[in-house]
Structure 1
């Protein structure tokens, strides 16, 4: 069906452009570029909104597809939750890619069986993890709630979807005291300080890699986690005296992030693993450990030391107790400091 007058045109522009899709409208008989976009879907969404804003009506017969809804929902979700970590945003986009078979279907026409087929394919045919299936189901739920709010669709099938049982491929391990001592003996080696920071803060590796220097308070000796995968993950953590010299050295180095290379460039997870973590683990014969094992180690060591449960939850960013209280008083900071200093 031909678009109505005034609806504009989307054009793939030439050259090596970062935003190759242009939206053009005719003004006084000449086509003028209004905006450019990275994807055709984003351009189409802008086109529809432009037509609605300037002509006060929608394109007749238009049904929002799964793909279009995703690109409408994601900016709204990020605006509502500005503290989401990059890893969480990446997981949304990855889950969206797993739903490729649904991208061009009208969202209102997608049924339970269509969603369950996606889950079954990635779980049993592609042999992806329980976690991957859970993330796809979570995306479907979030998009469906947005569709309900915007009155695009009324049904949320996510709670009906089966994703199988969680069978951990690799149970988390506690890093032994012997290995920790070996890390301290080679603390001057490249990247070892980052592992010790993980072991004496309990932060997620993604939280550490996204920690900006502006969120490190050297005067009061704490770090503020401003981006996390969960709301409970937004927290402050006292700096353990043993790692204070590492933090101070990193603060004096180049870059706006705490963990940067010599040129001041931050690490993503993949580069951190290959350039720092994996090499460090080989030095202590610990190649079977992963960065997340540091959190498991901190939790175990605090339990063994008889740490206060609420303080431990706050430090690790786990929901429960009074962890949702975002007001940190002098007394609560003192309690957190006492807890973190149980780590030896």
Structure 2
């Protein structure tokens, strides 16, 4: 079988997005590594705030937006969650429910992630405390040693210093992109007014997408050698 292909439009066959790789700092995140993902998921199974972490990982919610989340925002019938934007006046947005979240979405009343001691809205300080405790648990899961007082011995720490909650949001965007979700749809899910924010900062090229692109390019070159792909010169195409 012969396929016609424009060499100059190869980027349309293997789409990818150039990205700015940022070190996570002051709320700026990066996608988590696959090793970090495994340890995070391990800890989520038993940690008190594991559901909170998974919520950010699978909805792309900003940490501060989890404070606003209520059970009435969960629509199981239509497989969606309403996220109340806490930034840039984007307004409320809908995101699909990831199947991994379903076991946790038992529904109830009030805030999904309230203060630990009551049902009031969690404070920003509580979010920082939750993450500090969760990150410590991840560090221990990675192999860090604990002192007699319960703290992680610094020289044995394994967790990356730049692993911050926003890394979960960045990972969610990258996962959506790798899954083939259109970039403008990801912009809506993330609550970005400007699509350049989505493409420049949030969407990174995953290992899966990179390997898939490499395989496609290799197959393309092999197809040329075996004369299974017909290269049509641009000039000939324009005059045909």
Deviation string, structure 1 residues 296-341 (Cα, Å, up to 9, x no partner) = 22223333343311111111111247xxxxxxxxxxxxxxxxxxxx
114, 125, 128: which is aligned to 1:270? Answer: 125
Deviation string, structure 1 residues 264-300 (Cα, Å, up to 9, x no partner) = 23311211211x2111111112462111121122223
Work out the CA distance in 2 between the residues paired with 1:196 and 1:259.
12
Name whichever of 206-215 and 303-312 sits farther off.
303-312
Higher relative contact order (Cα pairs below 8 Å, separated by 6+ residues): 2
Q: Are residue 259 (structure 1) and residue 117 (structure 2) matched?
A: no
Q: Structure 1 residues 301 and 267 mapped into 2: Cα distance closer, same or farther (>3 Å)?
A: same
Work out the CA distance in 2 between the residues paired with 1:169 and 1:185.
22
After TM superposition, list the pairs within 5 Å mapping 1:119-268 onto structure 2: 170=25, 172-186=29-43, 187-248=45-106, 251-252=107-108, 256-260=110-114, 261=116, 263-268=118-123
SS at match of 2:105: helix
Bigger Cα Rg: 1
Work out the CA distance in 1 between the residues paired with 2:83 and 2:176.
20
151, 156, 174: which is aligned to 1:300? Answer: 174
Contact 1:233–1:318 under 8 Å retained in 2:
no
After TM superposition, list the pairs within 5 Å mapping 1:10-159 onto structure 2: none
Q: Structure 1 residues 214 and 305 mapped into 2: Cα distance closer, same or farther (>3 Å)?
A: closer
Q: Are residue 312 (structure 1) and residue 186 (structure 2) matched?
A: yes
Unpaired segments ≥5 residues, structure 1: 1-166, 322-344
Contact 2:24–2:167 under 8 Å retained in 1:
no
Alignment RMSD: 2.5
Work out the CA distance in 2 between the residues paired with 1:306 and 1:219.
24
Give the Å deviation of 1:198.
0.3
Partner in structure 2 of residue 85 of structure 1: none
Contact 1:235–1:314 under 8 Å retained in 2:
yes
TM-score (norm. length: structure 2) = 0.55
Contact 2:63–2:127 under 8 Å retained in 1:
no
Work out the CA distance in 1 between the residues paired with 2:24 and 2:86.
24
Q: Structure 1 residues 222 and 263 mapped into 2: Cα distance closer, same or farther (>3 Å)?
A: same
Work out the CA distance in 2 between the residues paired with 1:175 and 1:320.
24
Work out the CA distance in 1 between the residues paired with 2:50 and 2:160.
14
SS at match of 2:181: coil
**How many equivalent pairs are there?**
150
Deviation string, structure 1 residues 121-162 (Cα, Å, up to 9, x no partner) = xxxxxxxxxxxxxxxxxxxxxxxxxxxxxxxxxxxxxxxxxx
Partner in structure 2 of residue 144 of structure 1: none
